[in-house]
């Protein structure tokens, strides 16, 4: 069991699970809009997520705190370098405008991590802004990149899908912020730090209720797909109810980030 736990911990710490979650959302976008199975887009999302998350997580360890790296950190660095090569390879197979959008997401990630402005911390530490930066980055990578690269015309269905994607990502980040309440810097002014845990849960439940409402009024929906989305909303609502500052990190790092993966698996199974 200890070997399994060590493997799982490394899998999570190296950001493979969150990358799988991001990849799943890209595949859901491609599936919903009947886009080509563009491996350059999904590959860029997967490898780019590994690079971006490891850059954010371990920047303080290497640059700020200047701690000597452990062997697992060296291995993660090596895998991250391989992910950089994979992301670059996929990047060159994207259309020019998609490349521009991906560079904007990269710029936002770097701004999120490194202090560029005099006498200011990085954007991650700007009061109250963390959840919005994360939501924008995920929306850009998982929705706009595949749609723009496929040169799909934008219609009302796209805006409804985008609204649901924003509601889902924002609600998932709320789970993380509740679980991280004890460890987050008070100056971050995360949502639960500002309004409290119970009010944060209510906010997430409201967002999921809007998610379900959009699904109910969305025309030409397959009932099987709608049923999956209702189950998704119920799962997020349940996790918001269970989330607290004493929860294990596996609650958010593994289970919360598994929601998009399970969603994609269910849609894939129903589309066979």
3-state per-residue secondary structure call for 2-62 = HHHHHHHHHHHHCCHHHHHHHHHHHHHHHHHCCCCCCHHHHHHHHHHHHHHHHHHHHHHHH
Look at residue 189 in the predicted model and tell me its pLDDT: 82
- What are the residue ranges in the chain where pLDDT is below 70? 1, 59-70, 112-128, 219-221
Look at residue 116 in the predicted model and tell me its pLDDT: 45
Look at residue 126 in the predicted model and tell me its pLDDT: 58
Please tell me the number of Cα atoms within 13 Å of 253 on its side-chain side: 15
Specify the pTM: 0.91
d(CA 189, CA 199): 14
Look at residue 117 in the predicted model and tell me its pLDDT: 46
d(CA 20, CA 254): 11
pLDDT (tens digit per residue) in 180-195? 888 877 777 889 999 9
Nearest Cα to Cα of residue 146 among 86, 87, 101: 101
Nearest Cα to Cα of residue 232 among 199, 262, 187: 262
Look at residue 118 in the predicted model and tell me its pLDDT: 45
Nearest Cα to Cα of residue 38 among 99, 96, 94, 102: 94
39 torsion bin: left (phi>0), alpha (psi -120 to 50), beta (else)? alpha
d(CA 197, CA 152): 40
Look at residue 186 in the predicted model and tell me its pLDDT: 77
């Amino acid at each position: 069991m200890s070997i399994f736990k060590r493997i799982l911990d490394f899998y999570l710490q190296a950001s493979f699970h969150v990358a799988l979650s991001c990849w799943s959302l890209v595949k859901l976008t491609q599936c919903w809009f009947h886009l080509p199975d563009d491996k350059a887009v999904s590959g860029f999302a997967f490898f780019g997520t590994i690079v971006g998350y490891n850059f954010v997580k371990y920047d303080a360890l290497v640059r700020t705190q200047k701690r000597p790296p452990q062997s697992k950190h060296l291995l993660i660095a090596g895998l991250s370098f391989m992910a950089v090569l994979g992301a670059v390879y996929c990047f060159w197979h994207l259309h020019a405008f998609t490349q521009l959008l991906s560079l904007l997401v990269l710029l936002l990630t770097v701004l999120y991590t490194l202090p560029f402005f005099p006498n200011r911390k990085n954007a991650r530490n700007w009061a109250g802004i963390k959840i919005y930066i994360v939501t924008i980055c995920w929306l850009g990578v998982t929705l706009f990149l595949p749609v723009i690269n496929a040169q799909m015309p934008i219609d009302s269905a796209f805006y409804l899908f985008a609204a649901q994607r924003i509601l889902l990502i924002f609600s998932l980040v709320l789970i993380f912020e509740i679980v991280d309440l004890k460890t987050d810097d008070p100056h971050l002014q995360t949502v639960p730090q500002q309004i409290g845990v119970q009010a944060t849960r209510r906010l997430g439940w409201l967002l999921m209720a809007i998610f379900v409402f959009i699904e109910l009024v969305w025309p030409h929906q397959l009932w099987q797909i709608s049923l999956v989305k209702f189950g998704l909303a119920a799962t997020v609502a349940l996790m918001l109810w269970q989330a607290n500052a004493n929860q294990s990190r596996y609650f958010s790092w593994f289970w919360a980030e598994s929601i998009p993966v399970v969603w994609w698996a269910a849609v894939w199974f129903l589309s066979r």
